């Protein structure tokens, strides 16, 4: 298995341990809420949850902030801007924009694992302006054009 272990500079101003991979091949590290007091999310309310983490990603890498499926399934908790993007040149605190999509209040506790962070390489492009694009079988088909079965 060819996995990388890229060093990422981090400042941890939270009262919690650094995020870590929960299993041998987890793609994401769970991020913990760093709160003075619990945050109550009413149905359809959103809140920016601080993590107390500040990172410096290597050039050519981003971090994606993604929901956790357990919280989503059990409590309807998701992330409004999913997947959130942490840019390599961002030096601020990582925050998680949670939303409560259930019909019941949800309490975010200090130290709770509210999201997961996946570090990924990205490409940047330059435009090559053109008059026509290559013909393909799909063409402009989308939005279910291939059927459901
Ligand atoms: O879930 C998120 C998403 C973003 N950020 C931080 C890191 C990112 O580099 C910066 C800007 O994010 P984005 O580009 O998504 O926001 P924007 O609304 O376009 O703001 P800006 O004009 O600052 O780029 O905010 C977070 O901490 N959490
Ligand atoms: Mg932006």
DSSP per position, 99-134: EE-SSS-EEEPTT-EEEEEEEEE---------S---
- pLDDT interval class at 5 (50, 70, 90): confident
pLDDT score of 2 more than 60: no
Unique residue bearing structure tokens 């019909």: 103
Cα-to-centroid distance, 61 and ligand 1 (Å): 15
Cα-to-centroid distance, 9 and ligand 2 (Å): 22
Give bridge partners of residue 49 from the DSSP assignment: 96
Number of helical (H) and strand (E) elements in the chain, helices listed first = 1, 11
φ, ψ of residue 117 in degrees (nearest 5): -115, 125
Residue whose Cα lies nearest atom 19 of ligand 1: it is: 85
Pocket of ligand 1 contains residue 52 by CB under 6 Å: no
- Residue 3's pLDDT is 66
Residue-range domain boundaries for the chain = 9-121
Tell me the pTM. 0.95
Residue range 99-116, pLDDT digits in tens: 999 999 999 999 999 999
Pocket test for ligand 1, best of 33, 57, 86 (most atoms within 8 A of CB): 86
The reply to whether ipTM tops 0.95 is: yes
| Rounded Cα gap, residues 42 and 59, in angstroms | 39
Fold classification of 9-121 is: Deoxyuridine 5'-Triphosphate Nucleotidohydrolase; Chain A (2.70.40)
Q: How many residues does the chain have?
A: 149
- Residue 115's pLDDT is 98
Question: Region 13-40: what's the mean pLDDT?
Answer: 97
| Rounded Cα gap, residues 58 and 9, in angstroms | 9
In Å, how far are 68, 76, 96, 102, 105 from 46, measured between CA atoms?
16, 12, 10, 12, 11
Cα-to-centroid distance, 85 and ligand 1 (Å): 6
């Amino acid at each position: 298995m060819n996995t990388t272990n890229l060093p990422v500079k981090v400042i941890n101003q939270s009262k919690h341990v650094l995020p870590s991979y929960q299993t041998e091949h987890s793609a994401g590290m769970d991020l913990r809420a760093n709160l003075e007091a619990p945050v109550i999310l009413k149905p359809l309310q959103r809140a920016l949850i601080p993590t107390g983490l500040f990172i410096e990603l290597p050039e050519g890498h981003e971090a994606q902030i993604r929901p956790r499926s357990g919280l989503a399934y059990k409590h309807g908790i998701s992330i409004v801007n999913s997947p959130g993007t942490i840019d390599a040149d961002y030096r601020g605190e990582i925050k998680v924009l949670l939303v409560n999509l259930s019909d019941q209040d949800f309490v975010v506790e200090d130290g709770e694992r509210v999201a997961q962070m996946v570090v990924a390489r990205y490409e940047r492009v330059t435009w090559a302006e053109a008059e026509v694009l290559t013909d393909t079988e799909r063409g402009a088909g989308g939005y279910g054009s291939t059927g459901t079965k």
